[in-house]
C-alpha cells in the first residue's frame, strides 16, 4: 500500500503558459510554472513543497558545486488520447535514482516521495503537457549536496528537486556516429552506471571533438581496450543482427536505461531473440560488412528510438540501412508511442496515470 505524502503547494500568480510557443520546443529550454523541492536534514526528508519555478539562493561553498555530489533522472509524462496524463514507468527511475544516490554517498529518496512528488507536480502543471505527436512533458528530478563545507566528505544536507518542461523530439535527424577509441565515459569500478552529473561533464569534450569531425554522437567503448561497445551518447545502444536484438549487457560502466528495459520486454513479448552480452566493435563492423546488421539505434527517454545511419570507425565510414525500411525499430517506436499516449491497452502496466 502506498502511503500518501504531504506536499505544501504555493501556486504561481503569473503563469508563463500562454507565452510559451508549443510549436517551437527546443529540448530543455522551457520550464513549466512550478517545481518541487524537499530538504534532507537530520537524517530525513522534510519540507516537501511545490513552489513557482524560479532561482535558488545557495551558499557558493556547497559541495555539489565543488565535488560534484549530485545526480539526476529523466522521464516523461504523456497526454493520453482520452485526456488523461500518464507518467512512463516512474518507479524504474526511482529505483535508479537510489542506485545513483548510493554510489555517490547520498541519502536514498523513498520511492513514494520520488513518484508522488512528480505526480503532484505534473498534475498541477498538467496544462503544460503537450497534446501533440512525439511531444511530452520532460521530467527532471535531481538531488544535490548542500553543506557549505570544502572538506572532501559526504554532505549532511541535500535537496531533492523536480523540474518539468514541454519537449519535442530530442534528435531531429538520423545519426552519424563515431566509435570512440580514445576517450572513455566510464571505467570498471567507476560510476558510469550512476546518473552522476560528472559523467556528463566528462562527455562534453569528446562529443565536441566528434562533432568537429562531422559526427552527431559518439559510441562509447570500454575504457580498457576500446574493444567492446557500451552506449550511444546519452542513450543505450541496440542492433538487429540476423533478426536478433543484440545489446551490451549492463554493468558498472553502463547506465541501466528504462527505455532499454522496455524495448527488451517488447522484443521478448514478440518472440524475438534477445542477446544481452558483451558486443565487440569488430563483430559490429563485420556484421555491417557482410550485410547481417540490418538496424542500429539508440534508446533513451530523450532519444526515444534514434536511428543510426552512419558509423565511423578507424577512418572508415559505414552506411547502414534506410530507417524507413527498419521493421523492428519502426514497430517498436509505434508500439511504444501507442502505449505512452494511451492508444492501446497498457498490458505491461507501464503508465502511472495522474488522472
For 96, the enclosing helix (H) or strand (E) is helix 90-103
Question: Which of ligand COI, ligand PLP, none sits in contact with 312, Cβ below 5 to 8 A by type?
Answer: none
Instruction: Tell whether residue 294 is a contact of ligand PLP (CB under 6 A).
Output: no
Rounded (5°) CA angle 327-330-334: 135
Minimum distance from residue 315 beta carbon to ligand PLP (Å): 26
The C-alpha cell at 276 is: 544481452
Please, which residue, 196 or 246, has the CB nearer to ligand COI?
A: 196
Minimum distance from residue 72 beta carbon to ligand PLP (Å): 9
Query: Is residue 67 left, alpha or beta, with left meaning phi > 0 and alpha meaning psi from -120 to 50?
Result: alpha
Minimum distance from residue 93 beta carbon to ligand PLP (Å): 7
Assess contact for 112 and 2: CB atoms under 8 A: yes
Question: Which of ligand COI, ligand PLP, none sits in contact with 194, Cβ below 5 to 8 A by type?
Answer: none
Instruction: Tell whether residue 74 is a contact of ligand PLP (CB under 6 A).
Output: yes
Contact with ligand PLP (CB under 6 A) among 33, 125, 147, 231: 231
Contact with ligand PLP (CB under 6 A) among 120, 122, 234, 311: 234
Beta strands 293-300 and 244-248, pairing class? unpaired
Positions touching ligand COI (CB under 6 A) are 74, 234, 300-302
280 beta partners: 228
Instruction: Tell whether residue 90 is a contact of ligand PLP (CB under 6 A).
Output: no
Q: How far apart are CA 10 and CA 52, in angstroms?
A: 7
CB count, 10 Å around CB of 326?
21
Please, which residue, 154 or 198, has the CB nearer to ligand COI?
A: 198
Q: How far apart are CA 41 and CA 1, in angstroms?
A: 26
Minimum distance from residue 179 beta carbon to ligand COI (Å): 20
Please, which residue, 62 or 143, has the CB nearer to ligand PLP?
A: 143
Please, which residue, 15 or 337, has the CB nearer to ligand PLP?
A: 337
Instruction: Tell whether residue 136 is a contact of ligand PLP (CB under 6 A).
Output: no
Give the residue from 80, 97, 65 showing the smallest Cα distance to 352: 80
Minimum distance from residue 235 beta carbon to ligand PLP (Å): 5
Question: Which of ligand PLP, ligand COI, none sits in contact with 295, Cβ below 5 to 8 A by type?
Answer: none
Dihedral sign of CA atoms 24, 196, 205, 220 in order: negative
Question: Which of ligand COI, ligand PLP, none sits in contact with 257, Cβ below 5 to 8 A by type?
Answer: ligand PLP
- Point out the residue whose Cβ comes nearest to ligand COI: 74
Between helix 258-269 and helix 327-340 the angle, nearest 10°, is 110
- CA torsion angle 183 186 192 195 (round to 10): -40
Minimum distance from residue 84 beta carbon to ligand PLP (Å): 22
Minimum distance from residue 325 beta carbon to ligand PLP (Å): 25
Rounded (5°) CA angle 150-63-193: 130
Q: Which residues from 246-265 bind ligand PLP, rule CB under 6 A?
A: 255, 257-260
Compute the radius of gyration of the chain from its Cα atoms. Answer: 21
Assess contact for 186 and 222: CB atoms under 8 A: no
Which residues bind to ligand PLP, rule: CB under 6 A?
A: 74, 231, 234-236, 255, 257-260, 300-301
Amino acid at each position: 500500500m502506498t502511503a500518501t505524502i504531504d506536499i505544501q503547494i504555493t501556486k504561481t500568480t503569473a503563469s508563463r503558459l500562454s507565452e510559451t510557443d508549443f510549436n517551437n520546443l527546443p529540448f530543455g529550454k522551457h520550464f513549466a510554472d512550478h517545481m518541487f523541492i524537499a530538504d534532507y536534514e537530520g537524517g530525513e526528508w522534510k519540507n516537501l513543497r511545490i513552489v513557482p519555478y524560479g532561482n535558488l539562493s545557495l551558499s557558493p561553498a556547497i559541495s555539489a558545486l565543488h565535488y560534484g555530489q549530485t545526480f539526476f533522472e529523466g522521464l516523461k509524462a504523456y497526454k493520453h488520447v482520452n485526456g488523461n496524463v500518464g507518467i512512463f514507468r516512474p518507479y524504474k527511475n526511482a529505483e535508479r535514482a537510489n542506485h545513483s544516490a548510493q554510489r555517490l554517498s547520498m541519502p536514498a529518496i523513498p520511492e513514494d516521495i520520488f513518484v508522488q512528488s512528480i505526480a503532484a507536480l505534473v498534475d498541477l502543471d498538467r496544462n503544460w503537457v503537450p497534446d501533440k505527436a512525439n511531444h511530452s512533458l520532460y521530467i527532471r528530478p535531481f538531488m544535490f549536496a548542500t553543506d557549505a563545507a570544502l572538506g572532501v566528505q559526504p554532505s549532511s544536507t541535500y535537496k531533492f528537486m523536480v523540474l518539468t518542461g514541454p519537449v519535442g523530439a530530442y534528435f531531429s535527424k538520423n545519426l552519424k556516429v563515431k566509435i570512440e577509441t580514445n576517450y572513455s565515459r566510464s571505467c570498471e569500478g567507476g560510476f558510469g552506471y550512476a546518473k552522476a552529473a560528472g559523467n556528463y561533464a566528462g562527455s562534453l569534450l569528446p562529443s565536441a571533438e566528434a562533432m568537429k569531425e562531422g559526427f552527431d554522437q559518439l559510441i562509447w567503448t570500454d575504457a580498457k581496450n576500446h574493444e567492446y561497445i557500451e552506449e550511444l551518447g546519452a542513450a543505450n545502444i541496440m542492433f538487429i543482427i540476423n533478426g536478433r536484438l543484440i545489446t551490451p549487457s549492463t554493468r558498472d560502466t553502463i547506465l541501466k536505461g528504462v527505455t532499454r528495459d522496455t524495448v527488451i520486454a517488447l522484443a521478448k513479448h514478440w518472440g524475438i531473440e534477445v542477446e544481452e552480452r558483451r558486443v565487440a566493435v569488430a563483430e559490429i563492423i563485420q556484421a555491417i560488412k557482410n550485410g547481417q546488421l540490418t538496424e542500429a539505434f539508440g534508446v533513451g527517454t530523450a532519444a526515444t528510438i534514434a536511428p543510426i545511419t552512419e558509423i565511423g570507425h578507424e577512418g572508415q565510414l559505414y552506411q547502414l540501412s534506410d530507417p524507413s525500411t527498419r521493421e523492428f525499430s519502426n514497430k517498436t517506436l509505434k508500439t511504444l508511442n501507442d502505449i505512452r499516449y494511451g492508444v492501446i491497452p497498457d498490458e505491461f502496466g507501464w503508465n502511472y496515470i495522474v488522472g
